Chains A and B, each alone.
Chain A
Amino acid sequence: EADIYQTPRYLVIGTGKKITLECSQTMGHDKMYWYQQDPGMELHLIHYSYGVNSTEKGDLSSESTVSRIRTEHFPLTLESARPSHTSQYLCASTLRDRGGQETQYFGPGTRLLVL
């Protein structure tokens, strides 16, 4: 199992504000991911990282940016929030077993509302 922490859990903010969504895991996992999910909808991969100083954009175009300075920390930043950014943001990391299979584990999510 993996313990993945996300803060804040809920955020209401005005248009134009800069926000950072925090994600951390204490298991030393190399691979971490950010997904965007509208309520009751599918997940869209927006960013991922395979290790320190490694970040890539996912399948869904996003105006957010990420950084990976430490293994355990993978924050997501919106420089100027807009109502279209209203969504749930899920952070995940992968645990590799002895056979090489990876399993994704998810944090509790951050629900963002931009007014």
Chain B
Amino acid sequence: AQSVTQLGSHVSVSEGALVLLRCNYSSSVPPYLFWYVQYPNQGLQLLLKYTSAATLVKGINGFEAEFKKSETSFHLTKPSAHMSDAAEYFCAVSDRNQFYFGTGTSLTVIP
């Protein structure tokens, strides 16, 4: 079975600073990779997904993620944090159409 590791359960950044949320997966074969965002009292909303077409994936709200096979990583970044980015972020892997989620990273944006 796959496993997904999100380093840092809580990340704080200043407004306007770079956002970096880390995700590593375990797989000998490149899986399908996703990032979801969850706002309070809401479901998960798809931010972006890796489909093997390009290693750098652009998503909604200015987020992007880079697939690095050598590092088995799929870190999420945003150049400049906005207050509205404060939320819970989940990395997920799909392997043979089974989905595996990380434990989530809570992003706090400091004004």
Q: How far is the CB of B9 from chain A (nearest CB, A)?
A: 9
CB distance from B110 to the nearest CB of A (A): 18
The answer to whether the Cβ of B88 comes within 8 Å of any Cβ in the partner chain is yes
B97→A42 contact, CB < 8 A: no
Interface-centre pick from B41, B43, B51, B101 (highest chain A CB count, 10 A): B43
Tell me which of A60-68, A70-78, A79-87, A105-113 binds B: A105-113
Query: B88 touching A40 by the CB < 8 A rule?
Result: yes
Please classify the interface of chain A as helix (H, G, I), strand (E, B), loop, or mixed, using the class held by over half of its residues. strand
Decide if B46 is an interface residue (CB 8 Å cutoff): yes
Interface check A53, CB cutoff 8 A: no
Residues of chain A in range 90-115 having any CB-CB distance to chain B below 8 Å: 90, 92, 94, 97, 99, 101-109, 111
Contacting residues, chain A, for B34 (C-beta < 8 A): 103-104
CA distance A106 to B41 in the complex (A): 13
Which residues from chain A contact B44 at a C-beta distance below 8 Å?
A: 43, 90, 92, 106
Q: For this complex, into which size category does the number of interface residues on chain A fall?
A: 20 to 34
For B, the interface residue count at a CB cutoff of 8 angstroms equals 22
Contacts of A12 in B (CB 8 A): none
Q: Is the CB of A40 within 8 A of B49?
A: no
A-B contact pairs, 23 of them (CB 8 A): A4-B43, A31-B97, A42-B90, A42-B101, A43-B44, A43-B90, A90-B43, A90-B44, A92-B43, A94-B97, A97-B51, A99-B51, A101-B51, A103-B49, A104-B34, A104-B92, A104-B99, A105-B46, A106-B44, A108-B43, A109-B41, A109-B43, A111-B41
Residues of B within 8 A of A (CB): 32, 34, 36, 41-46, 49, 51, 88, 90, 92, 94, 97, 99, 101-104, 106
Given contacts A43-B101, A101-B94, 9 further A-B contacts (CB under 8 A): A41-B103, A42-B102, A42-B104, A92-B43, A92-B44, A97-B51, A101-B32, A105-B46, A106-B44
